Amino acid sequence: MAEQMREMKEKIERLLRLKRVLELIPVSKSTWWSGVASGRFPEAVHLGPRVTCWRESDILALMQKEAQ
């Protein structure tokens, strides 16, 4: 049972709100949104009319790409 829970937990995709994204990617909000619009930064996931998130895996991939 514990093994199944661990495997399930690994498959769940975490979502990050803008505040957390900007802690990891040090740019201004306007720069971030311009980058999203231009395709430089990952696409947002809209959970509701006023709730926007990004997949943690997309942000980590961006960080690795920028580090190279």
Q: Where are the alpha helices (DSSP H) in the chain?
A: 2-11, 18-24, 29-38, 56-67
pLDDT at 9 over 70: no
pLDDT digits (tens, 9 = 90+) for 27-56: 999 999 999 999 999 999 999 999 999 999
For the chain, give every domain's residue range.
14-67
Which pLDDT value is given to residue 21?
98
Which pLDDT value is given to residue 48?
95
Q: Read off the pTM.
A: 0.81
